[in-house]
Chain A
Amino acid sequence: MSKNLSIRHRAEKRFIAYGFISLILAATMLATIIGSMIYRSIPAYTNYSIDLEINMTEISAEDEFEDINFRGIIRSSLFSFFPEVESRSDKRKLFKLISSSASYTLRDFIIENPSYINKKFYFNVLFTDDSDIFYKGYVDTSLSESERRLDDQEVAWLNELKNTGRVKNKISKNLFLNGDSREPEVAGFWGATIGSLITISVTLLLSFPIGVLTAIYLENFAVKNRITDFIEVNINNLAAVPSIIFGLLGLAVFINFFGMPRSIPLVGGLVLSLMTLPTIIIATRSSLQSVPPSIREAALAMGASEMQVVFQHLLPSALPGIFTGTIIGLARAFGESAPLLLIGMVAFIVDIPSTFTDPATALPVQIYIWADSPERAFVAKTSAATLILIGLLILINLAAVLLRKRYEVKW
């Protein structure tokens, strides 16, 4: 007996040890992934820029904004650092060191602050991604010229500019506030984030009520027969269908058949709803089933109708489970890219969407686009966007935990 007992105790200790080791392994893996993401994303958060002296004294307030040569103004300001640069091609090369967005930002600034016309002032303009990467120390100057993005001439200019003390490393507002762009230093994930949020709202608004009502109907009202059995098997099946199939379906039905536009969150939301529905239906049904039958009996015996039983007793008790299921489904949809690629949400979209019919992209798709881009600077942006996606997913799951706590029923 005592021998048997000690064997059992040892087995238990061993089991606990195994469990602990697996936990450590899982935690280390997660920490490694997140850690490397954070490390790789660091260059994305800041951007090197330079304060250029802008001379607008030759411009009078009567000029139309369209007539002002902002590009020329910036060029001459930049060239004033290097009076020795004469040839056209060298000048072009020099101008390429700063972001092509510079003249647009200056124009936007002047339109908003017309009082700067006639004045001389310092204006902060971004460097291009290549110069930025160089300043951040990612360009190995010991390599031969042909193997790097900047040649010796450009490196020399950049070093010279740095020596003027006008070069700064600032938090990159563009990353957090902009939509996509061809220029890495201008591209941001805000457009994709908003696109994702709009899409997921459409998904939630469609799939939650439809899923819950379907589940209630199947669970409490549907007559059990071949047809409902068939529907049930199919719903369970749909939950396991790869997401790309839903994309194909969305393309065929919503875009080709109903003629809805491509790339809009409405269609994205519809497609993701199809994908989320089975999860919500299954979760709702199982939470409804887990309500003790004695509660149902008590309510029926008090003279409650079937519908009152559902809405006054079953649903309130099942809510935590329904929320959990819904949020798991939504989180999956939130991280989904394949179906959205198929319905065109992979298009290059610069504007921030504001309604569910504006062309948009989504965070996972943005990550895919950036990961696929050759520029070095997009590597860091990919990691940064991934972190944002993970952060939002954590928020969603946190919401699930809070909702579950809030509506938990104690028996």
Chain B
Amino acid sequence: MKLNGDLIMDEQKKQNNIRNKKSLIECRGVDVFYGDKQALFGINLDIGEKEVTSLIGPSGCGKSTFLRCINRMNDVIEICKVAGTIKIDNEDIYHPDVDVVELRSRIGMVFQKPNPFPKSVYDNVAYGPKLHGRILHKDDLDAKVEKSLERAGLWSEVKDRLGEPGTSLSGGQQQRLCIARAIAIDPSIILMDEPCSALDPIATAKIEELIDELKDNFTITIVTHSMQQAARVSQRTAFFHLGKLIEVGDTEKIFRSPDHEQTEAYVTGRYG
């Protein structure tokens, strides 16, 4: 009986792309609706700790929607309804007792278009620590800002212009500023939604390098339209199609020998 049950569990896990390794984020049967329209269908996906997971798939398949479920940014959209469970560190983040503000203070997010606040470079980075009241002393704050900018690979470029508005930086610098802003709150998770789509190849390369370094300390989930980028920066890749999770696995496997034909068609560029 017991053995049989385990077998069934194993079979289910395999089907639902669930790994046996310890995961930080566990999603089970996540459905998302925009009004009457369903955007995600029963997503089961585990995201491992301190690794980079990339979400790929054709436009409109629900990658951003899924990403926004993880820090509950979908709550902001009135017509959006989320069903199913998402656990971070075994805590159901959609439980009524969960404080969204506290949840988001543990998760950094980087958007497709760089969106620094119309404040100085310094204030952009200091915003999160000040907001959550974690750092009270000016010296500590200065150190935090420097460290975050350092980690985002921006310190050497902006150390003399901390007082200038963040919006006066170049596009690539702005995006790294947004990354610095996100890591300044010491999140355990960083979500990135096509962070390089507005950048040139050099700026993109810098950010990819950065992601690679950051993965030692952060759990990173990145949405990307570039197969090469997914292959370069991520350890695991999840392929979405029409609101369904088709396949998830080690990046190498997804790009070399995916289980599903659709995945193969997409990663080799034969899709559509």
- Total A-B pairs in contact (CB under 8 Å)? 62
B127's partner among A294, A302, A316 (CB-CB below 8 A) is: A302
* Complex: chain A residue closest to B73, CB-CB: A301
Q: Once bound together, how far apart are the Cα atoms of A111 and B109, in whole Å? A: 78
B111 touches A410 (CB 8 A): no
Residues 219 to 242 of chain A near chain B (Cβ within 8 Å): 224
B111 touches A302 (CB 8 A): no
A308's partner among B73, B131, B167 (CB-CB below 8 A) is: B131
A302 touches B128 (CB 8 A): yes
How far in angstroms is the closest Cβ of chain A from B198? Answer: 12
A299 touches B117 (CB 8 A): yes
B101's partner among A224, A303, A316 (CB-CB below 8 A) is: A303
Overall SS of chain A's interface: helix
Q: Please, which residues of chain A bring their CB within 8 A of the CB of B71? A: 301
* Complex: chain B residue closest to A408, CB-CB: B118
A292 touches B131 (CB 8 A): no
Residues 107 to 137 of chain B near chain A (Cβ within 8 Å): 107-109, 111, 113, 115-118, 127-128, 131-132
Q: Once bound together, how far apart are the Cα atoms of A17 and B128, in whole Å? A: 54
Residues 122 to 163 of chain B near chain A (Cβ within 8 Å): 127-128, 131-132
Query: Given A300-B73, A302-B127, are A295 and B118 also a contact pair (CB < 8 Å)?
Result: yes
One digit per residue, 1 when the CB lies within 8 angstroms of any chain A CB and 0 when it does not, for chain B 51-64 equals: 00000000000000
A298 touches B111 (CB 8 A): yes
Q: Please, which residues of chain A bring their CB within 8 A of the CB of B105? A: 302-303
Q: Once bound together, how far apart are the Cα atoms of A70 and B131, in whole Å? A: 74
* Complex: chain A residue closest to B184, CB-CB: A302
A303 touches B128 (CB 8 A): yes
Q: Please, which residues of chain B bring their CB within 8 A of the CB of A299? A: 117
Query: Given A297-B73, A298-B178, A302-B185, are A317 and B101 also a contact pair (CB < 8 Å)?
Result: no
On chain A, which size bracket covers the interface? 20 to 34
One digit per residue, 1 when the CB lies within 8 angstroms of any chain B CB and 0 when it does not, for chain A 268-302 equals: 00000000000000000000000010110111111
B115's partner among A292, A303, A305, A316 (CB-CB below 8 A) is: A292
B118 touches A410 (CB 8 A): yes
Q: Please, which residues of chain B bring their CB within 8 A of the CB of A317? A: 118
Residue among A297, A299, A300, A317 having the largest count of chain B Cβ atoms under 10 Å: A300
Q: Please, which residues of chain A bring their CB within 8 A of the CB of B36? A: none
A297's partner among B115, B132, B167, B181 (CB-CB below 8 A) is: B115
Q: Please, which residues of chain A bring their CB within 8 A of the CB of B115? A: 292, 294-295, 297-298
How far in angstroms is the closest Cβ of chain A from B156? Answer: 24
Residues 178 to 221 of chain B near chain A (Cβ within 8 Å): 178, 181-182, 185
Cβ-based interface call for B78 (8 A):
yes
Q: Once bound together, how far apart are the Cα atoms of A294 and B73, in whole Å? A: 12
How far in angstroms is the closest Cβ of chain A from B149? Answer: 16
Cβ-based interface call for A411 (8 A):
yes
Q: Once bound together, how far apart are the Cα atoms of A301 and B187, in whole Å? A: 11
Q: Please, which residues of chain B bring their CB within 8 A of the CB of A411? A: 118, 167
A297 touches B111 (CB 8 A): yes
Cβ-based interface call for A31 (8 A):
no
Cβ-based interface call for B84 (8 A):
no
Query: Given A224-B78, A411-B118, A411-B167, are A301 and B113 also a contact pair (CB < 8 Å)?
Result: no
Cβ-based interface call for A402 (8 A):
no
How far in angstroms is the closest Cβ of chain A from B256? Answer: 35
Cβ-based interface call for B97 (8 A):
no
Q: Once bound together, how far apart are the Cα atoms of A224 and B79, in whole Å? A: 12
How far in angstroms is the closest Cβ of chain B from A240? Answer: 30
Q: Please, which residues of chain A bring their CB within 8 A of the CB of B102? A: 303
B104 touches A300 (CB 8 A): yes
B117's partner among A224, A295, A300, A303 (CB-CB below 8 A) is: A295
B118 touches A302 (CB 8 A): no
Q: Please, which residues of chain A bring their CB within 8 A of the CB of B104? A: 300-303
Q: Once bound together, how far apart are the Cα atoms of A409 and B116, in whole Å? A: 13
Residues 363 to 411 of chain A near chain B (Cβ within 8 Å): 409-411
How far in angstroms is the closest Cβ of chain A from B55? Answer: 17
A303 touches B132 (CB 8 A): yes
Cβ-based interface call for A26 (8 A):
no
Q: Once bound together, how far apart are the Cα atoms of A303 and B187, in whole Å? A: 11
How far in angstroms is the closest Cβ of chain A from B141? Answer: 15
A305 touches B118 (CB 8 A): no
Cβ-based interface call for B3 (8 A):
no
Cβ-based interface call for A313 (8 A):
yes
How far in angstroms is the closest Cβ of chain A from B52? Answer: 19
A410 touches B117 (CB 8 A): no
Q: Please, which residues of chain B bring their CB within 8 A of the CB of A303? A: 101-105, 128, 131-132, 185
Query: Given A302-B104, A303-B104, are A294 and B167 also a contact pair (CB < 8 Å)?
Result: no
Q: Once bound together, how far apart are the Cα atoms of A313 and B102, in whole Å? A: 19
Q: Please, which residues of chain A bring their CB within 8 A of the CB of B128? A: 302-303
How far in angstroms is the closest Cβ of chain A from B148? Answer: 13
How far in angstroms is the closest Cβ of chain B from A223? Answer: 9
B131 touches A410 (CB 8 A): no
Q: Once bound together, how far apart are the Cα atoms of A371 and B249, in whole Å? A: 87
Q: Please, which residues of chain B bring their CB within 8 A of the CB of A316? A: 118
How far in angstroms is the closest Cβ of chain A from B26? Answer: 21
How far in angstroms is the closest Cβ of chain A from B111? Answer: 6
7 closest cross-chain pairs (CB), A and B: A303-B105, A294-B115, A301-B109, A303-B104, A409-B118, A298-B115, A302-B128
A298-B117, A303-B105 given. 5 additional CB < 8 A pairs?
A295-B117, A301-B107, A313-B117, A410-B165, A411-B118
Q: List 17 A-B contacts (CB under 8 A).
A: A292-B115, A294-B111, A294-B113, A295-B118, A298-B115, A299-B117, A301-B107, A301-B109, A302-B128, A302-B131, A303-B101, A303-B104, A308-B131, A409-B118, A410-B165, A410-B167, A411-B167
